[in-house]
Structure 1
Amino acid sequence: MKKLLFSIMLVAIVGVATAQNYSDKAIREAKRAERQQVYEAKLLQALKSQNFTFTANSMQANIGGFMNVPFAHNYFEVYPNFVDVNLPYLTAFAVVATPYIYNFTANQYTYTLYDNGEYWVVSVKIDSAINNQSPSITQSGTYNIHFQIYKKTGVTTLTITPSMSAAMTYQGFVTLN
């Protein structure tokens, strides 16, 4: 009789523990889904308000170059009234790649945001910019900028295609200003 009672109690305890584990798992999954929704909403708000900063973790010249790690202080900031850029880039003549820095501010730009399923895509077009190293110099030419932001993680691919040189691709992330 004791063995039977003990067996029934053991089965009951295992059943309660299993149900509790299931409810804990369901709660964790619900919280995880809620955090993901909040993250995506904040990221979308930053993109819609044109108030975000892209920071690069790696870069690659689209001339078949190697993946490089850019210096620590690099950014592409988008604000409602201007764009501020400080990113390294490479140009190649023959087989020699020469490093330079995009360091400019643009007060006028065209901004487009659209949803592409798993990604948000932001296109920015700059027709002229002020060189931050020599403010009296206006950099002529067009810059076509393309951000592809993965909704779930915020991992971002940025491609800058200037009218005067080869395109550069950067991998990084976007944060709210």
Structure 2
Amino acid sequence: MTLLRRLGVLVLAAVTLSLVAVGPASAYAPVGVVHTERVQAGPYGLTVGFSTWPVRAMQSLDFTFMPDGGIADKSGTLRLSGPAIKRGRAENPLVRHPRKRESWGLDIQALDDPGKYTFTFAIDGPLGHGEGALADLAVLDQPGPPLPLSWTISLLPLLGLVVFLGIAWRRTRPGRVPLTL
């Protein structure tokens, strides 16, 4: 019985150590800001952070918006304009970034088309209302090969599998073979 008890304690210790080791590693990765731009929105200075620079079309990245003095007593909206922005979805309230809670932001967003984009901010706070814009943000072409070429190359194995199954089906013709007992 003591051997069984020792084995149980050993297993419990191993499970506890594995949970302690995995705990911090499974947390969300922090947002790494690699480039910032300054925007003056009325009386409010605003730092716009990018997790990837230069910005490329169809590439996911994080945007962070940090007003001077923090976000505690402020609210605002963000209006995007550019080649890939639909009119109905262009204006959104500024909300906390899910992984960088002390700032506003957009989590893993992608701008679909290359071109010039404008981020227009409207901020309300103790100093009143202010508006400002980050104009002419250049979004470059998407990284990698063109999309039709990428899809064609990625679908070649599926096409090979379909051809193989068609040939195998034709050779065996399972519907035409009589059942024998």
TM-score (structure 2 length as normaliser): 0.28
Give the TM-score taking structure 1 as reference length: 0.29
* Structure having the larger proportion of residues in strand: 1
